[in-house]
């Protein structure tokens, strides 16, 4: 049976779909899985042993899509373009969330009233295949950096006098693609300074569009400018390798947090009132969060919660 999974909303959404791919492969071992996503998200699926081929939306031809002989499409998007690809695949069973116009493209629409971790919500789409979502125990996302990704990151860190075996690295993600999710820079840098005072090595890995923001934040607010490491222009999989080497990830609800979860790296996440931790936070003792009005959250209070979390983890 050949599956087409369609997710091209964002890197984090793609990461959170990998447990579904793994579940299908384990429940239907002879299946072939093709994952359709956007070009910027595709690298996060590199080396995934449960995916037969990653299809890049910007490069995919209809001839190629039809040649895959798709039996089942699972469309997690709410867009006319994803509906087009689901139809164009020729899949006999086309699964999607219910929408009024959906009958034009799908023959299996689900009205899901699920309020929980996004990974488990995605499992609900397996019911039409006779797979009970409650029977799936493995909900951990999967990310697979290559050996060269790890080697490159270790070289970068070594050049900054960081020994991955001896030093306690904290990955700091202080930006967000959505401004309403982003705690102010001065508060994040206050926390970063406190981490330095407590013997941690803080590492920032902004993308090229975020570099100036992060650099200016450190220069403007830090007492320890030279102690905070910025790694510029990492590839997506190099970033994943970096996060995997950290003792803790601190930041917003965004792709790096979900990547950290994939490596069982503890996370402390700051959520705005407009983002649901119930949907995005995996829960458990290794993951903590604070949610509130980002303008009213006090840096000292956040640090107290992080310090308590670190103590509980015995990092």
Report pLDDT digits (tens) over 103-130: 999 999 998 887 889 999 999 999 999 9
pLDDT for position 113: 82
User: What would the pLDDT profile of 294-303 be if each residue is shown by its tens digit?
Assistant: 999 999 999 9
pLDDT at 291 over 90: yes
Percent of the chain with pLDDT over 90: 89
Rounded to whole angstroms, how far apart are CA atoms 165 and 123? 37
Nearest to 202 by CA among 174, 178, 170, 179: 170
Question: Mean pLDDT of all residues in the chain?
Answer: 95
pLDDT classification of 180: cutoffs 50, 70, 90: confident
Distance CA 290, CA 186 (A): 17
Q: Is a pLDDT exceeding 90 seen at residue 21?
A: yes
Distances, alpha carbon 4 to alpha carbons 30, 85, 110, 162, 252, in Å? 14, 9, 17, 42, 30
Six token digits for residue 285: 């003792």
- Which one, of 209, 294, 251, lies nearest residue 12 by Cα? 251
Check if the beta carbon of residue 72 is closer than 8 Å to that of residue 89. no
Q: CB neighbours of 44 closer than 8 A, spacing ≥ 6?
A: 11, 14, 15, 143, 236, 237, 240, 255, 259
Write down the pTM of the prediction.
Answer: 0.95
- Could you give the domains of the chain? 2-135 (3.40.50.2000), 147-313 (3.40.50.2000)
Secondary structure in 3-state letters for the chain: CEEEEECCCCHHHHHCCHHHHHHHHHHCCCCEEEEEECCCCHHHHCCCCCCCEEEEHHHCCHHHHHHCCCCEEEECCCCHHHHHHHHHCCCCEEEEECCCCHHHCCCEEECCCCCCCHHHHHHHHHHHHCCCHHHCCCCCCCCCCCHHHHHHHHHHHHHCCCCCCCCEEEEEECCCCCHHHCCCHHHHHHHHHHHHHCCEEEEECCCCCCHHHHHHHHHHHCCCHHHCEECCCCCHHHHHHHHHCCCEEEEECCHHHHHHHHCCCCEEEEECCCCCHHHHCCCCCCEEEEECCCCCCCHHHHHHHHHHHHHHHCC
pLDDT, one tens digit per residue, over 227-253 is 999 999 999 999 999 999 999 999 998
Q: Which of 257, 307, 293 is nearest to 117 (CA)?
A: 257
Residue 148 has pLDDT above 90, yes or no: yes
Task: Report whether 118 contacts 97 (CB < 8 A).
Answer: no
Residue labelled with tokens 């979860």: 261
pLDDT of residue 258: 97
Best CA proximity match to 5, nearest among 128, 80, 91, 120: 91
32-55 pLDDT, tens digit per residue, is 999 999 999 999 999 999 999 999
Structure tokens at 111: 């009205």
């Amino acid at each position: 049976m050949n599956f087409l999974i369609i997710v091209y909303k964002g890197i984090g959404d793609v990461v959170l779909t990998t447990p579904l791919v793994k579940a299908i492969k384990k429940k239907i071992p002879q299946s072939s899985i093709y994952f359709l996503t956007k070009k910027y998200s595709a690298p996060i699926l590199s080396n995934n042993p449960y995916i037969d081929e990653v299809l890049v939306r910007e490069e995919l031809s209809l001839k190629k899509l039809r040649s895959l002989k798709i039996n089942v499409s699972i469309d997690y998007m709410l867009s006319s373009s994803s509906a087009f690809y689901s139809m164009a695949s020729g899949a006999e069973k086309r699964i999607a969330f219910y929408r009024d116009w959906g009958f034009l493209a799908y023959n299996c629409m689900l009205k899901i009233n699920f309020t929980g971790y996004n990974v488990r919500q995605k499992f609900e789409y397996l019911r039409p295949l006779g797979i009970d979502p409650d029977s799936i125990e493995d909900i951990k996302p999967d990310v697979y950096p290559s050996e060269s990704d790890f080697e490159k990151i270790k070289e970068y860190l070594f050049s900054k006098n960081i020994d991955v075996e001896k030093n306690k690295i904290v990955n700091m993600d202080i930006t967000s693609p959505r401004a309403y999710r982003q705690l102010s820079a001065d508060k994040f840098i206050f926390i970063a300074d406190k981490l330095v005072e407590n013997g941690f090595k803080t590492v920032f890995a902004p993308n090229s569009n975020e570099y100036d923001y992060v650099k200016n934040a450190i220069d403007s607010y830090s007492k320890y400018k030279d102690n905070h490491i910025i790694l510029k222009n990492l590839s997506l999989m190099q970033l994943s390798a970096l996060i995997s080497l950290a003792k803790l990830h601190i930041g917003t609800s965004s792709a790096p947090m979900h990547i950290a979860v994939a490596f069982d790296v503890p996370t402390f996440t700051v959520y705005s009132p407009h983002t649901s931790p119930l949907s995005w936070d995996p829960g458990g003792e290794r993951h903590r969060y604070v949610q509130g009005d980002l303008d009213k959250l006090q840096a000292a209070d956040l640090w107290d919660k992080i310090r308590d979390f670190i103590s509980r983890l015995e990092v």
